[in-house]
Structure 1
Amino acid sequence: MPRRTATMLTSTLLLIAVLCAGALIRVPYAEMSPGPTVNTLGEHGGKPVLSVEGRKTYESSGHLNMTTVRVTGADYRMNLVEAVHGWLADDSVVVPHETLYPGDKSAEEVREENAEEFSQSQESAKVAALRELGIPVGERVVVASVVKGTPAQGRLHAGDVITAVDGKPVERPGDVATVVTEHGPGEEVVFTVVPAKRAEEAEKKGEELTGGREVTVTTTAAEDDQRAIVGIRAGLDHTFPFEIDIRLADVGGPSAGLMFALGIMDRLTREDLTGGEFVAGTGTIDGEGKVGPIGGVQMKTVAAREEGAEYFLTPEANCATAARYVPDGLTLVKVGTIDDALAALADIREGDTAALPRCAAD
């Protein structure tokens, strides 16, 4: 056999061996790639993403697309070949597995956390939007969760509205812990609560929440510092003067909050916020309208541009990362609050794009 042929054959066999080995070697990495985008002003699965009952709404002609990232599953382990391909690709990012799935959480635990964060993002979006429009939003302290195996289990339930503890009215979640920790372990605490089901029925009927029943719970000692606890986490729930429904399945995490808030505002205001333009974006939002950072921003900009977006509302904390790779034809607009986003939308619909605060790389 000629030497050149033998060398080529040997190299080919070595390459095949390396590829086979790479396909068998599992590495502790996960991959993120562009996911679906959904217009919050449009429909998804044949139904409106945002619907409002009990308040006049207005039609919109543009797009306010929320964006997502597709990730490999918590139980999936990439092989070396897949990891190398992801590192070299322009439309994916390979990150340590623990970045997306920290600790020893199971796939089900991760899904539950994502679902809870998504639900909370919808709540915060409604609050931020209505407050921005000057529409009153009610607040009440509730049992956010009950720890399994603690004295509160079976006596207090998630969603119960807490009106008082030991007869003292509560206005903020921290008020509950303040009263409970005035006790020692083994002492009784009296909660005045309105059961979750009754509170939900009253809200649907637009009735004022009154009355309540007393529930006595005996405290136990916290494992870390021996303070008195009953085993609940108190949270803040909101009530709205009309019904706002966000229908979007198979999406998790908090990053759609900003776009949901803007979509709600667009539905409730006569003015078309986008002026018919295609705007996409991302960002968490709290009840005061502050926009927070998210993960996978570069994948979201790719997804937005592929869908047709020309402008992308970008949390200011993500701007430098997003600006390292900007898809052609997409303008990254920096926002830190819902007011920033509204000001940017005003510039976009008026054609004054030179005034937009743009993201810049470090």
Structure 2
Amino acid sequence: MSRRALTLLVSGFLVLALGIGGAVVDVPYVVLSPGPTENTLGDIDKQPVIKITGRETYPTTGALRLVTVAYQGGPTSQIDLLTALRGWIDPTVAVVPQETIFAPDRSQKEVEEENTIEMTNSQDDATAAALNELKIPYEAVISVASTVKGKPAEGKIQKGDRIVAVDGEPVTRTDEVSKAVRAREPGDPVTFTITRGGEKLDVTVPTVAAGGEPIVGVNMQPGYEFPFDVDINVGDVGGPSAGLMFSLGIVDKLTEGQLTGGKQIAGTGTIRPDGKVGPIGGIPQKMVGARNAGATIFLTPAGNCAEALRAVPDGLRLVKAETLHDAKLALEALASGKGEVPSCSG
């Protein structure tokens, strides 16, 4: 056998060995890629993404698309080396250390469950923000998420209870409850007025010291009682980053006219009940997903503008969104061709 043929044979074996090794060797990385988009004004499996009952709604056109990031990998389904290498080569995806997505002390299932809870909470916050924007009143409530095992509230206060007063003083925010409890001395009792199954009850709970402060062992979460029903259906999508697009979809359905102007608009951002838009992760992949879906305008949280400018796909216009009100005004200006449209570039 000639030296050249031997060299080619050995090289071929090495390439084959590396290929086989790369296909079977797992690596602790996660591949992030553009995920599917959903039109919040449209349907999923013949069901509306946003369904409003008990209030007049108006027809809409165009699209207000929420965007997502798909991932491969995780503690229970690690990717192989070849998948990671392909990701490093592909400019539309990102390969990140596994621990940036899944903390070492949390399982993949726990992260996914947390994302589901965040999505549910973001839907409520989005509805509250939309109603605030439209000056539609609603009631803020405090729900009991859980009680801490071994603490005084266990067995006395239950998950799902609503706290309406502390020692006779009405409360509507979780921080008001916490402040009232911390005003006691450890060992002092606190009387909670709660509603449970439509019945109002007074429940007295002693405090105990924890970290030098009095507590009763109640985990709370803010909630709302809206004057009509807003149901949001997004399938398996998790996390809080669709809040802005949910709010805009609700606003569009509850007001006359076409907020989109018939355009294909995508965007992202968390939302607070006061309408403040927060930054999110995976902005490069979300912009690619938006452009692949035909969007020409991308509503971008102000906190993501710098990163977005470095990776924006051709044909996608970045519109800066600091609040729901700002985003609504920007869309109205785009639809009419009049008014200022805030940009990530200035």
Q: Shared fold by TM > 0.5?
A: yes
Provide the secondary structure at the position in 2 that maps to 1:71. Answer: strand
1:295 alignment partner AA: G
Counterparts in 2 of 1:273-284, with a 5 A limit? 273-284=259-270
Partner of 1:217 in structure 2? 205
Distance in 2, matches of 1:360 and 1:29, equals 33
Structure 2 CA distance for aligned equivalents of residues 133 and 103 of structure 1: 43
- Is the partner of 2:79 in helix, strand or coil? coil
In the aligned structure 1, how far is the partner of 2:242 from the partner of 2:194?
A: 33
The residue number in structure 2 matching 1:122 is 123
TM-score, L = length of structure 1: 0.90
Q: Give the paired residue count.
A: 345
Q: SS of the residue aligned with 2:192?
A: strand
Give the stretch that moved more between structures: 143-152 or 43-52: 143-152
SS in 1 for 2:234: coil
Query: Where does residue 92 of structure 2 map in the other structure?
Result: 91
Partner residue, 2:174: 173
Tell me which moved more, 162-171 or 331-340: 162-171
- Is 1:270 aligned to residue 271 of structure 2? no
Q: Does 1:249 align with 2:235?
A: yes
Q: Output aligned runs, 1:201-350, within 5 Å.
A: 212-222=200-210, 225-350=211-336
Structure 1 residue ranges without an equivalent (≥5) = 199-210
Query: Structure 1 residue 221: deviation in Å?
Result: 2.7
Is the 8 Å Cα contact of residues 73 and 79 (structure 2) preserved in structure 1?
no
Change (3 A) 1:110 1:149: farther
Provide Cα deviations, 1:85-121, integer angstroms capped at 9, x if missing partner: 1011122111111111123111221122111110111
Give the match for residue 149 of structure 2: 148
Question: Deviations 1:33-60 (Å, cap 9, x if unpaired)?
Answer: 1111110001111111111111110000
Task: Report the residue type matching 1:27 in the other structure.
Answer: V
Residues 270, 279 of structure 2: 8 Å contact kept: yes
Deviation of 1:360 after TM superposition, in Å, equals 4.0
The answer for the alignment partner of 1:68 in structure 2 is 68
Residue identity matched to 2:256:
R
Q: CA deviation at 1:22?
A: 2.5
Under a length normalisation based on structure 2, what TM-score does the superposition of the two structures give? 0.94
Report the alpha carbon displacement of residue 231 of structure 1 after superposing the two structures with TM. 0.9
Partner of 2:109: 108
Are the aligned partners of 1:67 and 1:303 in contact in 2 as well (CA < 8 Å)?
A: yes
Distance 1:335 1:164 in 2: 37
CA distance in 2, matches of 1:174, 1:317: 26
Equivalents in 1 of 2:62, 2:314: separation in Å?
Answer: 21
Q: How far did 1:73 drift? A: 4.6
Instruction: Indicate conservation of the 8 Å contact 1:73/1:107, yes or no.
Output: no
Distance 1:19 1:243 in 2: 55
After TM superposition, give the deviation of residue 285 of structure 1 in Å. Answer: 0.6
Q: CA deviation at 1:69?
A: 0.7
Q: Deviations over 1:327-355 (max 9, x none)?
A: 222212111111221122122212459x5
Matched position secondary structure for 2:310: coil
Q: Is the 8 A contact 1:190 1:215 kept in 2?
A: yes
Distance 2:327 2:179 in 1: 38
Q: Is the Cα contact below 8 Å between 1:174 and 1:234 reproduced in 2? A: no
1:256·1:282 contact (CA, 8 Å) conserved in 2?
yes
- Looking at structure 2, the residues matched to 342 and 239 of structure 1 have their Cα atoms a distance apart, in angstroms, of 24
Show the counterpart of 1:9: 9
The answer to whether the 8 A contact 2:61-2:262 is kept is yes
1:259 offset after TM fit, Å? 0.3
- Once residues 111 and 156 of structure 2 are traced to their aligned partners in structure 1, the CA distance between those partners, rounded to angstroms, is 28
1:57 correspondence with 2:57: yes
Higher strand share: 2
Displacement of 1:7 after TM fit? 1.1
What secondary structure sits across from 2:313 in the alignment?
Answer: coil
Q: Report whether the alignment pairs 1:137 with 2:138.
A: yes
Letter in structure 1 aligned against 2:46: G
Superposed displacement of residue 167, structure 1: 2.9
Cα 1:263–1:216, aligned 2, differ >3 Å: closer, same or farther? Answer: same
Partner of 1:358: 343
Structure 1 147/136 Cα, relative in aligned 2: closer, same or farther at 3 Å?
Answer: same
Letter in 1 for 2:119: F
Residue-by-residue CA offset, 1:272-293 (whole Å, 9 max, x unaligned): 1011111011110101111111
Runs of 4+ more than 4 Å apart: none
